[in-house]
Structure 1
């Protein structure tokens, strides 16, 4: 058999394994190892790339720190406060709780930077409340999955960190560029959510009361402070993204450790814990014990332990594909489409199709180095293209057959994957419309960048 035949056979074999549910990390690793043997390459390159990713990537240190931040704000109760504030603002509308879930996803994303963490946290908190409120459980699960897509667009964003590292772009610029597109995604999903809920009569209405809004805002002040701390530090240049991640982790740990004994004291002297009282009346959150920190860190490390090796093995995959000429073929195909819009829309189509079967990380690592230079050659601003690329990658989180957020939402809500697909379609359609708008309007990504 020729090398081409062997590589084709290996590709078919790993595709079959992917269909059986084998993790993406192992799929790519098997393909890389198999192709390395066929092409006569040593496996030393794989080991050295694992080392290089961590030695060269100071910016990548922000990734595990923001993952840890997400776990800390969830454990401390800050995420619940943000959800309460969103519901106080939107509960007077039909479907207000579902719209609040999407808004809470946006607020949580502004601290955590992870789509799956956003979906899991908000879904586990608000899905039971939505079902009690008369919402269809399939719609509730689909709403949590769709809301989580903004987790990698609204800064801070783990995938923006990876993209900036790969393409040598300022990560702080990428963060700022994601603010308006992320907000548009939230507003668009809330609008379609309102239409669906109004048509079906879902949700109980609560009056819009300024007093309730102010109290829940006061109760969520720690969350707003954490969001403001990240955005202020990055936007003003006081912190690098990595430093901002470290500062936010420190802030969340201090808050959690201080608030826990306050909660215990309140329970001891008043008979009620913070968790038993109305959140809007509290200025502190539940917090956590010092002994709980190791378990929180271990959980975050487990997620990092999946993502970091995936970056390394995907870089090697990109190198092998380059040797095989795949990058040249894709590059020639996209370049042959013509001018600015033809290249832009072809690139978007490739990202969308790739996102249907792969997670955003391998999509970014494999395709960004191919498509970004081509887009730049026809005049697309690199930061604008980064936002276009990653908004498309985020839509892949709710696009079958892969759709990572769909699996996460299914896991935390108990609604089967296939049952929630019906209600994901409207969200998918409106996000595609936002994606098109962002791609055709560069200022939506660049307006907040003074040097653009």
Structure 2
């Protein structure tokens, strides 16, 4: 049997395994091992390549640290305080609480760097409040899912770390390039949210009060400090992304332990029942104790244990794809489309449809090494293309049949997956509009970069 036929059968087999729910790491590993035998590559080669990835992957150390940061700020109560601040600013608008949840997603993303963590945290906190506030439960869950898409665009971003590592680009530049596009994504979704809520009359209004805004802003100062610390350190060059991640983790640990002691004191002094009263008046014991940190760290380590091997095995996958000529075939197809804009929009279409069936990590691992060099050859700035690529990949979080954020939102809210789809459509249009705008206006990604 010809080698091409065997590889085709292997590819069909692993595709069926993926459709049956086998983890994508195992799917890629099975394909890599099978193709290695067909092409005459030894397992020693695969082992050497895997080891080489981690030996030169200092930048990858930022990934587990930012994952840990997301868990720490959730446990410390910082996420709740950021949500309170967003609501105090936007609650006077129709749909203000829903818009505030989107704003809270942006603020949470600016510390955590994870889409699923953003969706799970904000969805679990604000979905019950939105339902009590007169919003449709399906719309409320869809809002949390859509808001989570900015988790990989607003820095710090785990997927930007992976992209920069794979394409040998400065991760600090990628982080800065994601600031304006990520902000535009939030604003675009808030506009769509406001229109939908106006049409349906959803949400109760609260007066805009300066003292409330100032009070919640002061209460959320730890979150603002953490955001500013990361952005200042990376933008000024004081920290590398890895160092910034380490500093942020240290700050969040101190803040979480301090919050636990402070909230315990408030509990003892309060004459209210220690339970939820209404949004913005929740009296709970926030923060965590020193002996809870190992448990929080273990959860983050479990997620890292999934992502890191996937990145390593993908490097071997790229090697095999190169030997098979797959990169050349896709590259020739995209190049044949023509010049700058043709290559740009063809790449965007490929990323969009790939994001419908794959998570952003495998999309980045498989397609970025193929499409990025072609984009650079027609004059597209590599950093600008990275933002275009990853904004497109992030939209896949709310597009079926995959739509990871939809599954996460469904899990934390109890709303069935298929009941969310209708209410994601306005957000989908908003995100695609921002995506096209960012692709056509490079300065939206590059203007904040030093020496540009």
User: Which interval holds the TM-score relative to the shorter structure?
Assistant: over 0.9
Q: Is 1:207 the equivalent of 2:207?
A: yes
What is the match of residue 82 of structure 2?
82
Q: Give the distance between the partners of 1:285 and 1:156, measured in 2 at CA.
A: 28
Which TM-score applies when normalising by structure 2?
0.96
- Following TM superposition, by how much is the alpha carbon of 1:46 offset from its aligned partner in structure 2, in angstroms? 2.8
Contact 1:275–1:286, Cα closer than 8 Å, also in 2: no
Q: Give the distance between the partners of 1:70 and 1:273, measured in 2 at CA.
A: 29
What is the match of residue 308 of structure 2?
308
What is the match of residue 193 of structure 1?
193
Question: Bigger CA drift: 141-150 or 271-280?
Answer: 271-280
- Following TM superposition, by how much is the alpha carbon of 1:273 offset from its aligned partner in structure 2, in angstroms? 9.0
Aligned ranges for residues 351-362 of structure 1 at < 5 Å?
351-362=351-362
Contact 1:76–1:285, Cα closer than 8 Å, also in 2: no
Aligned ranges for residues 143-158 of structure 1 at < 5 Å?
143-158=143-158
What is the match of residue 94 of structure 1?
94
- Following TM superposition, by how much is the alpha carbon of 1:266 offset from its aligned partner in structure 2, in angstroms? 3.0
Q: Give the distance between the partners of 1:224 and 1:362, measured in 2 at CA.
A: 32
Contact 1:218–1:280, Cα closer than 8 Å, also in 2: no
Q: Give the distance between the partners of 2:100 and 2:279, measured in 1 at CA.
A: 16
- Following TM superposition, by how much is the alpha carbon of 1:268 offset from its aligned partner in structure 2, in angstroms? 3.1
- Render the CA deviation track for 1:18-52: whole Å, top value 9, x for unaligned: 22222211211121122222222222233223322
- Render the CA deviation track for 1:387-428: whole Å, top value 9, x for unaligned: 111111111111111111111111111111111111111111
Q: Give the distance between the partners of 1:6 and 1:68, measured in 2 at CA.
A: 42
What secondary structure does 2:331 align onto? Answer: helix
Q: Give the distance between the partners of 2:274 and 2:386, measured in 1 at CA.
A: 43
- Following TM superposition, by how much is the alpha carbon of 1:120 offset from its aligned partner in structure 2, in angstroms? 0.7
- Following TM superposition, by how much is the alpha carbon of 1:440 offset from its aligned partner in structure 2, in angstroms? 0.3
Aligned ranges for residues 190-269 of structure 1 at < 5 Å?
190-269=190-269
- Following TM superposition, by how much is the alpha carbon of 1:280 offset from its aligned partner in structure 2, in angstroms? 7.0
- Render the CA deviation track for 1:88-108: whole Å, top value 9, x for unaligned: 111111111111111000000
Structure 1 residues 263 and 278, CA gap change in structure 2 (3 angstroms): farther
What secondary structure does 1:420 align onto? Answer: helix
Question: Bigger CA drift: 258-267 or 313-322?
Answer: 258-267
- Render the CA deviation track for 1:130-173: whole Å, top value 9, x for unaligned: 11112111111111111000001001001111111111111111
Aligned ranges for residues 17-32 of structure 1 at < 5 Å?
17-32=17-32
Contact 2:267–2:285, Cα closer than 8 Å, also in 1: no
What is the match of residue 13 of structure 2?
13
Q: Give the distance between the partners of 1:109 and 1:23, measured in 2 at CA.
A: 26
Q: Give the distance between the partners of 2:91 and 2:133, measured in 1 at CA.
A: 11
Contact 2:77–2:259, Cα closer than 8 Å, also in 1: no
What secondary structure does 2:251 align onto? Answer: helix
Contact 1:266–1:273, Cα closer than 8 Å, also in 2: no
What is the match of residue 55 of structure 2?
55
- Following TM superposition, by how much is the alpha carbon of 1:272 offset from its aligned partner in structure 2, in angstroms? 6.0
What is the match of residue 419 of structure 2?
419
Contact 2:50–2:316, Cα closer than 8 Å, also in 1: no
Structure 1 residues 172 and 285, CA gap change in structure 2 (3 angstroms): farther
Contact 2:129–2:279, Cα closer than 8 Å, also in 1: no
Contact 1:216–1:279, Cα closer than 8 Å, also in 2: no
What is the match of residue 334 of structure 2?
334
Identify unmatched segments of 5+ residues in structure 2. Answer: none
Question: Bigger CA drift: 364-373 or 179-188?
Answer: 364-373
Q: CA RMSD in A?
A: 1.9
Question: Bigger CA drift: 43-52 or 215-224?
Answer: 43-52
Q: Is 1:448 the equivalent of 2:443?
A: no
Structure 1 residues 17 and 119, CA gap change in structure 2 (3 angstroms): same
Q: Is 1:167 the equivalent of 2:167?
A: yes
Aligned ranges for residues 88-167 of structure 1 at < 5 Å?
88-167=88-167
Contact 2:93–2:205, Cα closer than 8 Å, also in 1: yes
The alignment covers a number of residue pairs equal to: 452
Identify unmatched segments of 5+ residues in structure 1. Answer: none
